[in-house]
Amino acid sequence: MSARSRGDRTTLDQGGPSPFGSIQRALRLLEAVDRHGGGVTAAVLARELSLPFGTVQELAEVLELEGYLTNQEGAWVLGGAFALLGQSNRRQLLRSRLDRTLAELCDELGAAVYFSRYLDGELTVDAVACADYAPPVEEWVDFRASAHASALGKCLLSQLDHDARRDHLSRYPVARLTSRTITDAEQLMHRLERQPATVPVLDIQEYSMDTVCAAVPVTAGSTVGCLATSLPVSDIHRLRAAAELLAERAAPLMIAMAV
């Protein structure tokens, strides 16, 4: 079953697969494998972790793709990615994994994909994967000044505390970009505070009347980040499935940042 079809089984209204639940299960799985120095089968892991065999096998295969596990004659052992953690090239390893993840998502979604962070009081777009068939959003207003109107901006702001949100909006006041933009700061604050961490954030023509977007959090340690995608408004029917796929793919990035 493809990643797209797995994501299609849930909806945004139901919350979909939680990236935070996935990272917790994956870290528990890594800890369990570490306790078995000589390797351990998925069946034994399923019993120890009280998880379905299929869930354990799927998580292990994802971690294998990311280099954190290796299968040796049917038994799972820790992979070579752990040898690089803590070394000076860890940043390059993470960047390479990020670029690969975004490129794969762009190809699978047929849409531009972004990784954004909130760092030192500013929104930054650190990486973008796009193509001729998947052009990026035209940045007609600086993303830093329009966080209140974009999916990635609202996703990042929703991860901040109340005072940090207030500080951002004091430096970048809400402004009307389209007829759908929220221009009431108190209403925006209320929505950000009530945004569930497991539900993708959407932008339905708030930044541009030509574009719809979705974003999901990528949070680990002090990192406040998100994965986002944009589609032309004519493809709004694809946004729900795209958001669910983003939520699924956010988990490996959080694992990489957390371990």
Q: What is the pLDDT of residues 175-218, one digit of tens each?
A: 999 999 999 999 999 999 999 887 899 999 999 999 999 999 98
> 17 lies in which domain range?
3-84
Task: Decide if 259 is inside a domain.
Answer: no
Kindly report the CATH number assigned to the domain that includes residue 74. 1.10.10.10
pTM: 0.68
Say how far apart CA 153 and CA 146 lie, in whole Å. Answer: 7
Kindly report the CATH number assigned to the domain that includes residue 175. 3.30.450.40
Do both 171 and 203 map to the same domain? yes
Q: What is the pLDDT of residues 135-161, one digit of tens each?
A: 999 999 999 999 999 999 999 999 999
- With a cut of 80, say whether residue 243 has pLDDT above it: yes
Do both 42 and 153 map to the same domain? no
Write the single-letter amino acid at 190: H
Task: Decide if 20 is inside a domain.
Answer: yes
Do both 203 and 166 map to the same domain? yes
Do both 69 and 103 map to the same domain? no
Task: Decide if 255 is inside a domain.
Answer: no
The answer to whether the CB of 90 falls within 8 A of the CB of 202 is no
Say how far apart CA 53 and CA 229 lie, in whole Å. Answer: 32
Strand 112-119 with 122-129, pairing? antiparallel
The tokens for 210 are 């030509």
Say how far apart CA 24 and CA 19 lie, in whole Å. Answer: 9
Domain termination site, one of 51, 84, 117: 84
